[in-house]
Structure 1
Amino acid sequence: MAWFLLFSAGLLEILFAISLKFNEGFTKLWPSVATAVFGAGSFYLLMLALKYLPIGTAYAVWTGIGAVGVAIVGVFLFKESIDWLRVVSIFLVITGIVGLKLTDSQ
């Protein structure tokens, strides 16, 4: 259950970061509300997961999910560049996330 909470927190972290792009410095109401809701939800689920997971593992996985998710969304939604170095870098972060999961006894 802790890993499900952590994965869900990571997904909300992706939505949080994307909503930052759309709220334009908190000048647009609904994107700003979404930023607050996604951010609070992400932190809350991370906090729940931290009851059962080591902080180093949980925080690294949470930020990794957010980083990979936003990088991938950036390519498709915001037409950011995609090249071999970006793909390899994303793959390395994913490898790190999987490695941390495999080393945990939960």
Structure 2
Amino acid sequence: MSRANRGWLFVLIGGLVEIGWVSGLKHSSNIWEWLLTGAGIAISFFMMINATKVLPIGSVYAVFTGLGTAGTVVAETVIFGEPFSITKTLLILLLLSGVIGLKMVTDSPDDDHAASIAPKKEAI
């Protein structure tokens, strides 16, 4: 697996864990649920931080929060009975299309991107 693909895997895992801990902020009612919520926060941020070591931070943050936002809305509707809204659903699909678009246009660190940002030597 390439470094970039591993980075995107970290973003995906972090975003999925974010869905759990965000819901935990609202629904935790005892110490064990709060500890699980805290562990979820630590894991998701650990994944995001590691992803930023190989991917652009702006893309990582946008995809991470986009997945977390969309996933949390879906989880709240499916698991916790929040009312369904077609407008909300269309806006989530718009958000996800932006997230997918960012992933598609993000340069891989395996490309010659690093060479393009290296300092140029002055001609003598």
TM-score range, shorter chain: over 0.9
Larger Rg: 2
Structure 2: unaligned runs, 5 residues or longer = 1-5, 109-124
In structure 2, how many angstroms separate the alpha carbons of the residues matched to 1:83 and 1:32? 29
Cα distance per residue 1:19-43 (max 9 Å; x no partner): 112224xxx1011001110000000
- Does 2:108 correspond to 1:103? no
Cα distance per residue 1:36-71 (max 9 Å; x no partner): 100000000100000011111100100000000000
Deviation at 1:105, TM superposition (A): 2.4
Give the structure with the higher percent helix: 1
Deviation at 1:84, TM superposition (A): 1.5
Which of 5, 12, 17 aligns to 1:7? It is 12
Whether the 8 Å CA contact 1:20–1:31 is kept in 2: the answer is no
- TM-score, normalising length from structure 1? 0.92
Structure 1: unaligned runs, 5 residues or longer = none
Q: Between 13-22 and 85-94, report the one with greater CA deviation.
A: 13-22
Match of 2:52 in 1: 50
Number of corresponding residues: 103
- TM-score, normalising length from structure 2? 0.80
